[in-house]
Structure 1
Amino acid sequence: MSTQLPGETDVTYTFDDVSVVMGTYNEEDAIGTVLSDVADVTDDRAEVVCVDGSSDRTAEIAREHGARVIEQEPQGYGVAVREAVLAADRPVVVTTDCDDTYPMERLPDFLDRINQGYDVVSGDRLYYGAETMPAFNRLGNHAFALLASLLVGERIHDTTTGMRAYRRELIQQIHWTENTGLSAELLLRPLVREYDVCEIPIEYGERKGETTLDPISGGLAIGKSIVKVCLEERLR
Protein backbone atom coordinates (compact mmCIF):
# COMPACT_ATOMS: atom_id res chain seq x y z
CA MET A 1 0.00 0.00 0.00
CA SER A 2 1.36 3.36 -1.00
CA THR A 3 2.96 5.53 1.68
CA GLN A 4 4.34 8.15 -0.72
CA LEU A 5 2.30 11.03 -2.02
CA PRO A 6 1.17 10.24 -5.58
CA GLY A 7 1.31 13.88 -6.59
CA GLU A 8 -1.12 16.76 -6.68
CA THR A 9 -4.04 16.54 -9.08
CA ASP A 10 -5.23 19.21 -11.51
CA VAL A 11 -8.56 19.50 -9.69
CA THR A 12 -8.96 20.54 -6.06
CA TYR A 13 -12.16 19.12 -4.62
CA THR A 14 -14.25 20.78 -1.94
CA PHE A 15 -17.19 19.46 0.06
CA ASP A 16 -19.41 20.59 -2.80
CA ASP A 17 -17.86 17.64 -4.67
CA VAL A 18 -18.44 15.05 -1.93
CA SER A 19 -21.16 12.43 -1.51
CA VAL A 20 -21.33 10.78 1.91
CA VAL A 21 -23.09 7.44 1.51
CA MET A 22 -24.24 4.67 3.83
CA GLY A 23 -26.46 1.65 4.07
CA THR A 24 -28.95 1.97 6.94
CA TYR A 25 -30.99 -0.61 8.80
CA ASN A 26 -32.93 0.29 11.95
CA GLU A 27 -30.51 2.97 13.13
CA GLU A 28 -32.99 5.55 14.43
CA ASP A 29 -30.93 5.96 17.64
CA ALA A 30 -27.84 7.18 15.79
CA ILE A 31 -28.69 8.36 12.28
CA GLY A 32 -29.68 11.88 13.33
CA THR A 33 -26.39 12.41 15.15
CA VAL A 34 -24.35 11.12 12.22
CA LEU A 35 -26.12 13.31 9.68
CA SER A 36 -25.91 16.38 11.92
CA ASP A 37 -22.16 15.79 12.26
CA VAL A 38 -21.78 15.49 8.48
CA ALA A 39 -23.71 18.73 7.98
CA ASP A 40 -21.66 20.57 10.63
CA VAL A 41 -18.28 19.42 9.31
CA THR A 42 -19.10 20.08 5.64
CA ASP A 43 -21.13 23.26 6.21
CA ASP A 44 -24.10 21.30 4.85
CA ARG A 45 -22.45 21.16 1.42
CA ALA A 46 -21.94 17.41 1.00
CA GLU A 47 -24.58 15.25 -0.63
CA VAL A 48 -25.82 12.47 1.68
CA VAL A 49 -27.24 9.22 0.30
CA CYS A 50 -28.82 6.58 2.53
CA VAL A 51 -29.93 3.22 1.15
CA ASP A 52 -32.44 2.03 3.70
CA GLY A 53 -34.32 -1.16 4.48
CA SER A 54 -35.44 -0.20 7.97
CA SER A 55 -38.70 -0.93 9.74
CA ASP A 56 -38.20 1.92 12.23
CA ARG A 57 -37.95 5.71 11.73
CA THR A 58 -34.44 5.70 10.21
CA ALA A 59 -35.58 6.78 6.73
CA GLU A 60 -37.87 9.47 8.12
CA ILE A 61 -35.11 10.93 10.28
CA ALA A 62 -32.66 10.83 7.39
CA ARG A 63 -35.03 12.76 5.14
CA GLU A 64 -35.60 15.32 7.91
CA HIS A 65 -31.83 15.92 7.84
CA GLY A 66 -31.83 16.45 4.08
CA ALA A 67 -30.48 13.07 3.00
CA ARG A 68 -31.51 11.40 -0.23
CA VAL A 69 -33.07 8.11 0.83
CA ILE A 70 -33.26 5.11 -1.49
CA GLU A 71 -35.52 2.45 -0.02
CA GLN A 72 -34.99 -1.24 -0.76
CA GLU A 73 -35.93 -4.57 0.76
CA PRO A 74 -33.33 -5.73 3.32
CA GLN A 75 -30.78 -7.84 1.44
CA GLY A 76 -27.67 -7.41 3.55
CA TYR A 77 -24.96 -4.86 4.27
CA GLY A 78 -23.13 -5.09 0.96
CA VAL A 79 -26.21 -4.82 -1.22
CA ALA A 80 -27.19 -1.58 0.50
CA VAL A 81 -23.71 -0.05 0.46
CA ARG A 82 -23.13 -1.07 -3.17
CA GLU A 83 -26.36 0.69 -4.14
CA ALA A 84 -25.29 3.73 -2.12
CA VAL A 85 -21.83 4.12 -3.68
CA LEU A 86 -23.20 3.64 -7.19
CA ALA A 87 -26.00 6.16 -6.56
CA ALA A 88 -23.61 8.94 -5.54
CA ASP A 89 -23.59 11.87 -7.98
CA ARG A 90 -20.41 13.67 -6.97
CA PRO A 91 -16.75 12.98 -7.88
CA VAL A 92 -15.64 12.03 -4.34
CA VAL A 93 -17.56 9.30 -2.53
CA VAL A 94 -17.15 8.77 1.22
CA THR A 95 -18.59 5.66 2.84
CA THR A 96 -19.45 5.52 6.51
CA ASP A 97 -21.68 3.59 8.87
CA CYS A 98 -24.73 5.13 10.49
CA ASP A 99 -24.13 3.91 14.06
CA ASP A 100 -22.03 6.91 15.19
CA THR A 101 -18.80 4.91 15.49
CA TYR A 102 -16.88 6.84 12.82
CA PRO A 103 -15.43 10.36 13.33
CA MET A 104 -17.11 12.70 10.88
CA GLU A 105 -14.76 15.45 12.03
CA ARG A 106 -12.04 13.63 10.06
CA LEU A 107 -13.81 14.16 6.72
CA PRO A 108 -11.47 17.07 5.83
CA ASP A 109 -8.47 14.75 6.24
CA PHE A 110 -9.99 12.20 3.84
CA LEU A 111 -10.74 14.91 1.29
CA ASP A 112 -7.23 16.31 1.66
CA ARG A 113 -5.71 12.92 0.78
CA ILE A 114 -7.93 12.65 -2.29
CA ASN A 115 -6.68 16.10 -3.31
CA GLN A 116 -3.12 14.85 -2.86
CA GLY A 117 -3.85 12.33 -5.61
CA TYR A 118 -4.96 9.16 -3.83
CA ASP A 119 -7.73 7.08 -5.36
CA VAL A 120 -8.78 5.41 -2.10
CA VAL A 121 -8.31 6.72 1.45
CA SER A 122 -9.10 4.10 4.08
CA GLY A 123 -9.68 4.78 7.78
CA ASP A 124 -7.62 2.52 10.05
CA ARG A 125 -9.72 1.90 13.20
CA LEU A 126 -7.16 -0.42 14.78
CA TYR A 127 -4.26 2.05 14.91
CA TYR A 128 -5.42 3.58 18.20
CA GLY A 129 -6.57 0.24 19.63
CA ALA A 130 -10.32 0.39 18.88
CA GLU A 131 -11.07 -0.30 22.54
CA THR A 132 -14.78 0.39 22.06
CA MET A 133 -14.97 -2.54 19.64
CA PRO A 134 -15.88 -5.93 21.19
CA ALA A 135 -12.69 -7.93 21.81
CA PHE A 136 -13.80 -10.80 19.56
CA ASN A 137 -14.50 -8.41 16.69
CA ARG A 138 -11.19 -6.63 17.23
CA LEU A 139 -9.31 -9.94 17.09
CA GLY A 140 -11.20 -10.89 13.95
CA ASN A 141 -10.35 -7.60 12.24
CA HIS A 142 -6.66 -8.09 12.98
CA ALA A 143 -6.93 -11.58 11.51
CA PHE A 144 -8.68 -10.30 8.38
CA ALA A 145 -5.94 -7.70 7.89
CA LEU A 146 -3.22 -10.32 8.28
CA LEU A 147 -4.94 -12.68 5.84
CA ALA A 148 -5.43 -9.94 3.26
CA SER A 149 -1.84 -8.73 3.67
CA LEU A 150 -0.50 -12.22 2.98
CA LEU A 151 -2.70 -12.67 -0.09
CA VAL A 152 -2.05 -9.21 -1.53
CA GLY A 153 1.62 -9.00 -0.63
CA GLU A 154 1.30 -5.58 0.99
CA ARG A 155 0.74 -4.58 4.60
CA ILE A 156 -2.89 -3.74 5.30
CA HIS A 157 -3.89 -2.57 8.77
CA ASP A 158 -7.71 -2.55 8.63
CA THR A 159 -9.43 -4.46 5.84
CA THR A 160 -13.06 -4.03 6.90
CA THR A 161 -13.34 -0.42 7.99
CA GLY A 162 -16.56 1.27 6.87
CA MET A 163 -15.06 4.77 6.50
CA ARG A 164 -13.28 5.41 3.22
CA ALA A 165 -13.07 8.02 0.48
CA TYR A 166 -12.97 7.05 -3.20
CA ARG A 167 -12.76 8.75 -6.54
CA ARG A 168 -16.13 8.13 -8.13
CA GLU A 169 -14.64 6.99 -11.44
CA LEU A 170 -12.95 4.10 -9.61
CA ILE A 171 -16.28 3.07 -8.06
CA GLN A 172 -17.86 3.06 -11.50
CA GLN A 173 -15.06 1.13 -13.20
CA ILE A 174 -15.00 -1.93 -10.92
CA HIS A 175 -17.67 -4.64 -10.76
CA TRP A 176 -18.50 -5.23 -7.09
CA THR A 177 -19.78 -8.69 -6.16
CA GLU A 178 -19.67 -9.20 -2.39
CA ASN A 179 -22.32 -8.68 0.29
CA THR A 180 -21.09 -9.14 3.88
CA GLY A 181 -17.52 -8.84 2.60
CA LEU A 182 -18.07 -5.71 0.52
CA SER A 183 -16.03 -3.48 2.84
CA ALA A 184 -12.97 -5.68 2.25
CA GLU A 185 -13.66 -5.91 -1.49
CA LEU A 186 -13.88 -2.10 -1.79
CA LEU A 187 -10.27 -1.94 -0.59
CA LEU A 188 -8.74 -5.08 -2.07
CA ARG A 189 -9.77 -4.81 -5.72
CA PRO A 190 -8.38 -1.24 -6.11
CA LEU A 191 -5.23 -2.20 -4.20
CA VAL A 192 -4.42 -5.23 -6.36
CA ARG A 193 -5.17 -3.19 -9.50
CA GLU A 194 -2.49 -0.73 -8.36
CA TYR A 195 -4.66 2.28 -7.72
CA ASP A 196 -3.11 4.76 -5.27
CA VAL A 197 -4.38 3.67 -1.86
CA CYS A 198 -3.49 4.91 1.61
CA GLU A 199 -4.66 4.29 5.16
CA ILE A 200 -5.01 6.98 7.81
CA PRO A 201 -5.54 6.32 11.54
CA ILE A 202 -9.00 7.19 12.86
CA GLU A 203 -10.67 7.00 16.24
CA TYR A 204 -13.45 4.44 16.61
CA GLY A 205 -16.39 5.32 18.86
CA GLU A 206 -18.90 3.31 20.84
CA ARG A 207 -21.82 2.07 18.79
CA LYS A 208 -25.32 3.49 19.33
CA GLY A 209 -28.05 0.87 18.98
CA GLU A 210 -27.78 -2.89 18.48
CA THR A 211 -25.75 -4.58 15.76
CA THR A 212 -27.51 -6.97 13.39
CA LEU A 213 -24.37 -8.81 12.21
CA ASP A 214 -23.62 -12.17 13.83
CA PRO A 215 -19.85 -12.17 14.54
CA ILE A 216 -19.36 -15.87 13.75
CA SER A 217 -21.31 -16.22 10.51
CA GLY A 218 -20.38 -12.70 9.46
CA GLY A 219 -16.71 -13.32 10.18
CA LEU A 220 -16.69 -16.50 8.12
CA ALA A 221 -18.37 -14.70 5.23
CA ILE A 222 -15.81 -11.88 5.35
CA GLY A 223 -12.90 -14.33 5.46
CA LYS A 224 -14.26 -16.20 2.43
CA SER A 225 -14.77 -12.92 0.59
CA ILE A 226 -11.18 -11.84 1.21
CA VAL A 227 -9.82 -15.10 -0.22
CA LYS A 228 -12.24 -15.05 -3.17
CA VAL A 229 -11.59 -11.44 -4.12
CA CYS A 230 -7.81 -11.76 -3.84
CA LEU A 231 -7.74 -14.92 -5.94
CA GLU A 232 -10.00 -13.40 -8.58
CA GLU A 233 -7.82 -10.31 -8.83
CA ARG A 234 -4.60 -12.32 -9.02
CA LEU A 235 -6.06 -14.42 -11.86
CA ARG A 236 -7.34 -11.44 -13.88
Structure 2
Amino acid sequence: MKKIVVFLPAHNEEVSLPLVLKRIPAEIDGLPVETIVIDDGSIDATSEIARQHGAIVYRFENNRGLGAAVREGLLRSYEHGATVAVMIDADNEYPADQIPDVVRPILLDEADYVFGSRFLGTVDGMRLYRYIGNHVFTWLQCVLLKRRIHDGQSGMRAFSRAACKHAEIIHDYNYAQVLTLNLVRKGFRLHEVPIRYRVREAGKSFIRFNYIQRVLPAIYQEWRRPIVPLSSEERFERKEHLG
Protein backbone atom coordinates (compact mmCIF):
# COMPACT_ATOMS: atom_id res chain seq x y z
CA MET A 1 0.00 0.00 0.00
CA LYS A 2 1.29 3.45 -0.88
CA LYS A 3 1.91 5.74 2.06
CA ILE A 4 3.85 8.75 3.23
CA VAL A 5 6.25 8.36 6.14
CA VAL A 6 7.24 11.52 8.03
CA PHE A 7 10.26 11.20 10.30
CA LEU A 8 11.57 13.70 12.83
CA PRO A 9 15.09 13.61 14.27
CA ALA A 10 14.73 14.85 17.85
CA HIS A 11 17.09 15.57 20.74
CA ASN A 12 15.54 16.98 23.93
CA GLU A 13 12.54 18.45 22.09
CA GLU A 14 9.77 17.76 24.63
CA VAL A 15 8.46 21.34 24.32
CA SER A 16 8.50 21.82 20.55
CA LEU A 17 7.80 18.26 19.40
CA PRO A 18 4.06 18.13 20.20
CA LEU A 19 3.53 21.40 18.34
CA VAL A 20 5.03 19.84 15.22
CA LEU A 21 3.27 16.47 15.54
CA LYS A 22 -0.14 18.13 15.82
CA ARG A 23 0.37 19.85 12.47
CA ILE A 24 1.39 16.79 10.47
CA PRO A 25 -1.52 15.87 8.16
CA ALA A 26 -3.19 12.47 8.56
CA GLU A 27 -3.21 11.95 4.80
CA ILE A 28 -1.80 13.58 1.69
CA ASP A 29 -3.59 13.31 -1.65
CA GLY A 30 -5.44 10.25 -0.39
CA LEU A 31 -2.32 8.51 0.96
CA PRO A 32 -2.09 7.72 4.69
CA VAL A 33 0.69 9.37 6.68
CA GLU A 34 2.76 7.47 9.25
CA THR A 35 4.98 9.36 11.71
CA ILE A 36 8.32 8.21 13.11
CA VAL A 37 10.43 10.00 15.71
CA ILE A 38 14.15 9.24 15.89
CA ASP A 39 15.08 10.11 19.48
CA ASP A 40 18.78 10.90 19.45
CA GLY A 41 19.57 10.08 23.07
CA SER A 42 17.22 12.60 24.70
CA ILE A 43 17.28 12.93 28.48
CA ASP A 44 13.84 14.55 28.65
CA ALA A 45 10.36 13.22 27.78
CA THR A 46 10.80 13.37 23.99
CA SER A 47 10.07 9.66 23.43
CA GLU A 48 7.08 9.57 25.76
CA ILE A 49 5.51 12.63 24.15
CA ALA A 50 6.07 11.19 20.68
CA ARG A 51 4.27 7.98 21.61
CA GLN A 52 1.42 9.94 23.22
CA HIS A 53 0.86 11.63 19.86
CA GLY A 54 0.78 8.33 17.98
CA ALA A 55 4.31 8.34 16.58
CA ILE A 56 6.51 5.27 16.27
CA VAL A 57 9.73 5.85 18.22
CA TYR A 58 13.25 4.59 17.54
CA ARG A 59 15.64 5.70 20.25
CA PHE A 60 19.42 5.89 20.48
CA GLU A 61 20.73 5.29 24.00
CA ASN A 62 23.31 8.04 23.52
CA ASN A 63 23.37 11.25 21.52
CA ARG A 64 24.94 10.24 18.21
CA GLY A 65 24.34 13.34 16.10
CA LEU A 66 21.94 14.68 13.51
CA GLY A 67 23.56 12.82 10.63
CA ALA A 68 23.09 9.50 12.43
CA ALA A 69 19.47 10.36 13.24
CA VAL A 70 18.64 11.26 9.63
CA ARG A 71 20.37 8.11 8.39
CA GLU A 72 18.24 6.06 10.79
CA GLY A 73 15.11 7.92 9.68
CA LEU A 74 15.72 7.13 6.02
CA LEU A 75 16.36 3.47 6.85
CA ARG A 76 13.24 3.13 9.00
CA SER A 77 11.09 4.96 6.45
CA TYR A 78 12.20 2.51 3.77
CA GLU A 79 11.59 -0.47 6.08
CA HIS A 80 8.10 0.85 6.83
CA GLY A 81 7.28 0.86 3.12
CA ALA A 82 7.35 4.59 2.41
CA THR A 83 6.35 5.64 -1.07
CA VAL A 84 7.69 9.05 -0.09
CA ALA A 85 9.61 9.87 3.09
CA VAL A 86 9.65 13.34 4.60
CA MET A 87 12.17 14.63 7.11
CA ILE A 88 11.22 17.64 9.20
CA ASP A 89 13.07 19.09 12.16
CA ALA A 90 11.34 18.65 15.52
CA ASP A 91 12.04 22.22 16.64
CA ASN A 92 8.88 23.82 15.19
CA GLU A 93 10.84 26.11 12.87
CA TYR A 94 9.54 24.40 9.73
CA PRO A 95 5.86 24.35 8.68
CA ALA A 96 4.51 20.82 9.09
CA ASP A 97 1.29 21.91 7.40
CA GLN A 98 3.31 22.43 4.20
CA ILE A 99 4.47 18.80 4.05
CA PRO A 100 2.03 18.16 1.15
CA ASP A 101 3.77 20.88 -0.89
CA VAL A 102 7.13 19.16 -0.41
CA VAL A 103 5.76 15.70 -1.21
CA ARG A 104 3.85 16.50 -4.41
CA PRO A 105 6.78 16.92 -6.83
CA ILE A 106 7.74 13.32 -6.04
CA LEU A 107 4.17 12.02 -6.32
CA LEU A 108 3.95 13.77 -9.71
CA ASP A 109 7.27 12.18 -10.77
CA GLU A 110 8.88 15.59 -11.19
CA ALA A 111 11.60 14.96 -8.59
CA ASP A 112 13.20 12.35 -6.35
CA TYR A 113 14.56 14.68 -3.68
CA VAL A 114 12.81 17.90 -2.61
CA PHE A 115 13.82 20.77 -0.35
CA GLY A 116 11.38 22.98 1.44
CA SER A 117 13.22 26.18 0.58
CA ARG A 118 13.15 29.01 3.11
CA PHE A 119 14.78 31.45 0.74
CA LEU A 120 12.21 30.85 -1.99
CA GLY A 121 9.53 31.47 0.65
CA THR A 122 9.58 33.63 3.77
CA VAL A 123 12.08 33.81 6.62
CA ASP A 124 11.13 35.28 9.99
CA GLY A 125 13.69 36.05 12.68
CA MET A 126 16.86 34.39 11.34
CA ARG A 127 19.98 35.94 12.84
CA LEU A 128 22.55 37.41 10.48
CA TYR A 129 25.27 34.85 11.22
CA ARG A 130 22.88 31.99 10.42
CA TYR A 131 21.69 33.74 7.27
CA ILE A 132 25.26 34.18 6.06
CA GLY A 133 26.22 30.63 7.03
CA ASN A 134 23.25 29.16 5.18
CA HIS A 135 24.13 31.05 2.02
CA VAL A 136 27.84 30.20 2.20
CA PHE A 137 27.22 26.46 2.52
CA THR A 138 24.53 26.59 -0.16
CA TRP A 139 26.89 28.46 -2.48
CA LEU A 140 29.51 25.74 -1.93
CA GLN A 141 27.02 23.07 -2.99
CA CYS A 142 26.14 25.13 -6.08
CA VAL A 143 29.81 25.30 -7.05
CA LEU A 144 30.47 21.60 -6.50
CA LEU A 145 27.31 20.40 -8.26
CA LYS A 146 27.34 23.11 -10.96
CA ARG A 147 23.67 23.87 -10.47
CA ARG A 148 21.44 26.43 -8.79
CA ILE A 149 20.33 25.63 -5.24
CA HIS A 150 18.51 28.15 -3.06
CA ASP A 151 18.50 26.45 0.37
CA GLY A 152 21.01 23.65 0.72
CA GLN A 153 20.69 23.69 4.53
CA SER A 154 16.94 23.09 4.76
CA GLY A 155 15.66 20.93 7.61
CA MET A 156 12.55 19.93 5.64
CA ARG A 157 13.11 17.46 2.80
CA ALA A 158 11.25 14.74 0.92
CA PHE A 159 12.71 11.59 -0.60
CA SER A 160 11.42 9.07 -3.11
CA ARG A 161 11.57 5.44 -2.04
CA ALA A 162 14.60 4.90 -4.25
CA ALA A 163 16.33 7.96 -2.77
CA CYS A 164 15.76 6.53 0.73
CA LYS A 165 17.33 3.27 -0.35
CA HIS A 166 20.42 4.73 -2.01
CA ALA A 167 21.11 7.75 0.23
CA GLU A 168 24.41 7.66 2.11
CA ILE A 169 25.38 9.94 5.00
CA ILE A 170 29.06 9.47 5.73
CA HIS A 171 29.29 11.08 9.16
CA ASP A 172 27.12 11.25 12.25
CA TYR A 173 27.44 14.94 13.09
CA ASN A 174 25.40 16.44 10.25
CA TYR A 175 23.81 15.51 6.95
CA ALA A 176 22.75 18.62 5.01
CA GLN A 177 25.55 19.02 2.50
CA VAL A 178 26.90 15.48 2.15
CA LEU A 179 23.46 13.99 1.53
CA THR A 180 22.75 16.39 -1.33
CA LEU A 181 26.16 15.82 -2.90
CA ASN A 182 25.56 12.08 -2.64
CA LEU A 183 22.07 11.95 -4.14
CA VAL A 184 22.51 14.53 -6.91
CA ARG A 185 25.77 12.96 -8.10
CA LYS A 186 23.98 9.60 -8.27
CA GLY A 187 21.41 11.09 -10.64
CA PHE A 188 18.46 11.79 -8.35
CA ARG A 189 16.41 14.79 -9.44
CA LEU A 190 16.43 17.72 -7.01
CA HIS A 191 13.58 20.22 -6.74
CA GLU A 192 12.79 23.06 -4.32
CA VAL A 193 9.44 24.45 -3.17
CA PRO A 194 8.89 27.65 -1.15
CA ILE A 195 8.01 27.34 2.54
CA ARG A 196 7.43 29.62 5.51
CA TYR A 197 10.13 29.60 8.17
CA ARG A 198 10.45 31.15 11.62
CA VAL A 199 13.11 30.75 14.26
CA ARG A 200 12.61 28.27 17.06
CA GLU A 201 10.90 29.29 20.28
CA ALA A 202 12.18 26.56 22.59
CA GLY A 203 14.81 23.89 22.90
CA LYS A 204 18.43 23.88 21.81
CA SER A 205 19.69 23.70 18.25
CA PHE A 206 21.68 20.75 16.89
CA ILE A 207 24.12 23.29 15.42
CA ARG A 208 27.21 24.10 17.49
CA PHE A 209 29.97 26.68 17.08
CA ASN A 210 32.39 24.04 15.75
CA TYR A 211 30.00 23.29 12.88
CA ILE A 212 32.32 24.62 10.16
CA GLN A 213 35.33 22.80 11.57
CA ARG A 214 33.51 19.46 11.47
CA VAL A 215 31.41 19.84 8.32
CA LEU A 216 33.98 21.12 5.81
CA PRO A 217 36.16 17.97 6.03
CA ALA A 218 33.05 15.83 5.57
CA ILE A 219 32.09 17.77 2.43
CA TYR A 220 35.59 17.23 1.07
CA GLN A 221 35.47 13.52 1.94
CA GLU A 222 32.08 13.06 0.25
CA TRP A 223 33.19 14.96 -2.83
CA ARG A 224 36.31 12.78 -3.18
CA ARG A 225 34.36 9.54 -2.86
CA PRO A 226 33.71 7.69 -6.13
CA ILE A 227 29.99 7.71 -6.92
CA VAL A 228 28.29 5.15 -9.14
CA PRO A 229 25.38 6.76 -11.05
CA LEU A 230 22.03 5.02 -11.08
CA SER A 231 21.81 2.03 -13.40
CA SER A 232 18.93 1.62 -15.85
CA GLU A 233 17.32 -0.87 -13.43
CA GLU A 234 17.60 1.61 -10.57
CA ARG A 235 16.12 4.36 -12.74
CA PHE A 236 13.16 2.08 -13.41
CA GLU A 237 12.89 1.41 -9.67
CA ARG A 238 12.78 5.17 -9.15
CA LYS A 239 9.50 5.33 -11.09
CA GLU A 240 8.02 1.93 -10.20
CA HIS A 241 6.91 2.90 -6.69
CA LEU A 242 4.63 5.59 -8.14
CA GLY A 243 2.88 3.23 -10.56
* TM-score category, normalised to shorter length: 0.7 to 0.9
- Which residue of 1 is the match for residue 217 of structure 2? 224
| Residue 87 (structure 1) aligned with residue 87 (structure 2) | no
SS in structure 1 at match of 2:18: helix
SS at match of 1:181: coil
Aligned to 1:65: 53
**1:49 and 2:42 aligned:** no
Aligned to 1:19: 5
- Aligned position for 1:197: 190
Shift of 1:45: 3.3
Deviation readout 1:86-124 (Å, 9 max, x if unpaired): 111112100010011111121111221112211111111
Two-structure CA RMSD over aligned residues (Å): 2.3
1:167 aligns with 2:160: yes
Which TM-score applies when normalising by structure 2? 0.83
Match of 1:33 among 19, 22, 42: 19
Residue identity matched to 1:150: V
Gaps of 5+ in 2: 230-243
Asked whether 1:101 is paired with 2:101, we answer: no
* Structure 1 match to 2:181: 188
Evaluate the alpha carbon distance shift between residue 63 and residue 144 of structure 1 in structure 2; reply closer, same or farther with a 3 A threshold: same
Distance 2:18 2:226 in 1: 38
Is residue 28–residue 61 contact of structure 1 (8 Å, CA) maintained in 2?
yes
Q: In the alignment, residue 162 of structure 2 is paired with which amino acid? A: E
Identity %: 29
- Does residue 119 (structure 1) correspond to residue 105 (structure 2)? The answer is no
* Aligned with residue 146 of structure 1, among 118, 139, 154: 139
Q: Structure 1 residues 41, 222: closer, same or farther in 2, change over 3 A?
A: farther
Give, as a single letter, the amino acid of the residue that structure 2 aligns with 1:112: R
The farther-off stretch of 168-177 and 35-44 is 35-44
Note the residue ranges of structure 1 that are not aligned, 5 or more in a row. 1-12
Report what 1:9 is aligned to: none
Q: 1:226 to 1:201 in 2, by over 3 A?
A: farther
**AA paired with 1:92?**
V
Question: Does the Cα contact within 8 Å between 2:182 and 2:222 map onto a contact in 1?
Answer: yes
Change (3 A) 1:131 1:139: farther
Higher strand share: 2
SS in 1 for 2:23: helix
For residue 133 of structure 1, report the CA deviation from its aligned partner: 2.0
Is the 8 Å Cα contact of residues 4 and 31 (structure 2) preserved in structure 1? no
Q: CA deviation at 1:235?
A: 9.2
- Give the total of aligned pairs: 222
Give how far 1:202 is off: 1.2
The structural deviation recorded for 1:41 is 6.7
